[in-house]
Amino acid sequence: MSLSKSNYTNLIKTEAKRLGFLSCGISKAGFLEEEAPRLERWLDKNMHGEMSYMEKNFDKRLDPTKLVEGSKSVVSLLLNYYSEEKQDDPGAPKISKYAYGTDYHFVIKDKLRSLLNFIQEKIGDVHGRAFVDSAPVLDKAWAAKSGLGWMGKHTNLISRKVGSYYFIAELIIDLELEYDYPVTDHCGDCTACLDACPTNAIVEPYVVDGSKCISYFTIELKSNIPESFKGMFDNWMFGCDICQDVCPWNRFSKPHKEPLFNPHPDLLSFTKKDWTELTQEVFGKVFKNSAVKRTKYEGLKRNITFLKP
C-alpha cells in the first residue's frame, strides 16, 4: 500500500517524538546558498583557529546530495540536554551542561538508527545516513531551514518554546517528504550574549570568532592556551554556557528526561581541590562514557591549571 508524502512525514515525526526527540523538522536536500558565502568569509578570516577539519569537504558541507547519494530530504532533530543540577562547589572549575552525562554521540546515534530502521520497516526501500556533529553537515543551518528555530546572535539555534539547550542531529534520506519552513528571528535588539562573552568571541551579531571562544580553547585547541586570555575564562574548564545562560529565551528551558544525560555523582560533588588533584584513574572513572574524554586527561589538567590565578 502506497502512502502519501503527508502520511510518511507524519509517521516519521510521530516516531521521532516517541524516541524522545524534542522536535523534528524536514527540509529539501540541496545547496545551502545563503550559507556558502558566510562559511567562506568565516574561513578566510581564520575564525576556525586550529580546527582545520572545517576547511575540508567545503562542497559536501553545503550540499548533502554530495554527501549522501540520491538524498532528497534532511530530517533535522533536536534532543534536549538542559539540566537544573549544578556543581556543588561554586568555586570548582565548571563543565558545560551538555557534557554532564553519557557522550551525546552514542545516545543520539542509537535513536537515529532506530528511526531509520522504523522508516525502512514502515515505508520500504529507503536509504540514508545518520549524522551527529561528526561529519561535514551544517546542523544549525538545516535545523533553521526546517523551522526548528532561528540562528541567534550567538549562532546557536533558538526556539521560542524551549530555548537553545539541545543537540541537533540529522537523517539524510532518499525519500521525498513534506517540507517545513523557516521561522522568523526573535532576537530583536537584545545583545545579552554579546555583552556577556568574557573573551569577546561574538565579534558582531550572528558571527562568532571560534578561535576566541572558551569552548574552542578548552576542547578543540591542542596547543597551549594563549596567556593573553588568562583570567577571562570565568572558571570554565570544559566548554562554556555563558551565552546560553544569559539568553532570555532559555527561561523556557525544561529539564531533559534522558537518564543517560544525568551526571556522574562525583562530577557534581567534586570540590575545587578535588579537580586540582585529579588523577588519570579518577578521570577514567568519572568520564568513562563522557564527551569530556575528547579533551583527554592531559587537556583537562591543562585547562584546570590555566584557571589558577
Residue 2 is predicted with a pLDDT of: 52
Q: At what angle do helices 5-18 and 104-123 cross, to 10 degrees?
A: 140
Residue 1 is predicted with a pLDDT of: 38
**Over 60: is that where the pLDDT of 58 sits?**
yes
Grid cell at residue 185: 528571528
Angstrom distance (rounded) from CA 7 to CA 11: 6
Express each pLDDT in 258-267 by its tens digit: 999 999 889 9
**Over 80: is that where the pLDDT of 134 sits?**
no
**Over 80: is that where the pLDDT of 68 sits?**
yes
* CA contacts within 13 A on the Cβ side of 282: 12
Of 22-36, 47-61, 90-104, 194-208, which range is least confident? Answer: 47-61
Taken in order of first residue, the domains within the chain and their CATH numbers are: 5-85+97-173 (3.40.109), 192-252+262-307 (no CATH)
Annotated catalytic residue 133:
yes
Percent of the residues in the chain that have a pLDDT greater than 70, as a whole number:
99
For residue 177, report the phi and psi dihedrals to the nearest 5 degrees.
Answer: -135, 180
Percent of the residues in the chain that have a pLDDT greater than 90, as a whole number:
92
Angstrom distance (rounded) from CA 128 to CA 28: 14
Q: What's the mean pLDDT in 211-223?
A: 96
Angstrom distance (rounded) from CA 158 to CA 87: 25
Residue 55 is predicted with a pLDDT of: 87
CA-based nearest residue to 199, from 177, 217, 176, 186:
217
For residue 270, report the phi and psi dihedrals to the nearest 5 degrees.
Answer: -60, 135
Express each pLDDT in 3-29 by its tens digit: 789 999 999 999 999 999 999 999 999
Mean pLDDT taken over the chain: 95
Other beta carbons within 10 angstroms of residue 153's beta carbon come to 22
- Annotated catalytic residue within 63, 110, 125, 133: 133
Q: What's the mean pLDDT in 126-151?
A: 94
**Over 90: is that where the pLDDT of 138 sits?**
yes
Express each pLDDT in 35-57 by its tens digit: 999 999 999 999 999 898 888 88
**Over 70: is that where the pLDDT of 136 sits?**
yes
Residue 308 is predicted with a pLDDT of: 87
pTM for this model (two decimals): 0.95
Q: Are 128 and 172 in contact (CB under 8 A)?
A: yes
Q: What's the mean pLDDT in 197-206?
A: 98
